[in-house]
Amino acid sequence: MKNSYLETIKVVDGKLFHMPYHQKRYESVLSMFGITEYQNLSDVLDPPQNGIYKCSLTYSKLTPQIIKIKYNQYEKRNIKSLKIVYDDNIVYSHKSADREELDRLYKLREDCDDILIVKNSFVTDSSIANVAFFDGKTWFTPKNPLLKGTTRERYLEDKKIVEADIKVDDIKNFSAVALLNAMIDFDIITNLNIKY
């Protein structure tokens, strides 16, 4: 869905998580198109009251902005391995509903659970999450991710992670890896296998 954008919001027993961050990103995308009147996303959502759901809210710069709202019961993917893939041209700076480029790279994962995308020699993101690496004292996240996710922004604001340039050769210097997104929050992957 070209020219459409997406917010993925965690819902637990009817509670919407971290809405100020989703609202801020939604408004920042629309402001790129000169739009200054926004809907309050919390007002348009009516989530299920029992269980864990992934709310996918698709919107565009056209009126009405909200195109579609879906609630899917959420089941966490078990990620134990990442395949490093390279693409110096990929752009995904806004959470677009068009994931064609990410899907193309994801197909290169071979027998791994997901991918770790490297752009211009620097580690960026997995196909579904920002990443962070632990050196024993500090969690570092790539300075230039493909997408500045809402969970990544929260952890930067709280000074729980620090931005850094991370190259493929640097990965061996870290003792742990975490994936960050709205659904899994800060998910530390134990015994992660990275395939080069």
Give 142-176 pLDDT, tens digit per residue. 999 999 999 999 999 999 999 999 999 999 999 99
pLDDT at 130 exceeding the cut of 70? yes
Give the mean model confidence (pLDDT) for residues 189-195.
92
Q: How far, in Å, CA of 75 to CA of 78, rounded?
A: 9
Q: How far, in Å, CA of 185 to CA of 88, rounded?
A: 27
107 and 154 co-located in one domain: yes
44 and 97 co-located in one domain: no
pLDDT at 1: 60
Kindly state the tokens that stand for 108. 């290169």
Cα 60 to chain centroid, rounded: 19
CB 130 within 8 A of CB 141: yes
Q: How is residue 16 annotated by DSSP?
A: E
Out of 73, 100, 115, pick the residue that ends a domain: 73
The pTM for the full model equals 0.94
Domain count, the chain: 2
Out of 32, 49, 73, pick the residue that ends a domain: 73
CB 122 within 8 A of CB 84: no
93 and 65 co-located in one domain: no
Beta strand pairing status for 15-16 and 130-134? Answer: unpaired
86 and 149 co-located in one domain: yes
pLDDT at 63 exceeding the cut of 80? no
Residue of 177, 173, 195 whose CA lies nearest to 186: 177
Structural domain harbouring 32: 4-73
For residue 38, how many other CB atoms are within 10 A of its CB? 13
Give the mean model confidence (pLDDT) for residues 107-123.
98
Residue of 188, 187, 185 whose CA lies nearest to 21: 185
pLDDT at 17 exceeding the cut of 90? yes
125 and 149 co-located in one domain: yes
pLDDT at 64: 75
Q: Helix, strand or coil for residue 131?
A: strand
Give the mean model confidence (pLDDT) for residues 64-76.
93
Q: How far, in Å, CA of 182 to CA of 23, rounded?
A: 13
94 and 68 co-located in one domain: no
What percentage of the chain reaches a pLDDT higher than 70?
A: 99
Between vectors from CA 183 to CA 95 and to CA 166, what angle results, nearest 5°?
65
| Contacts (Cβ under 8 Å, ≥6 apart) of 37 | none
Beta strand pairing status for 15-16 and 81-86? Answer: unpaired
Kindly state the tokens that stand for 90. 């990929």
Residue type, 29: V
Q: What is the pLDDT of residues 26-37, one digit of tens each?
A: 999 999 999 998
90 and 40 co-located in one domain: no
pLDDT at 55: 98
CB 32 within 8 A of CB 40: no
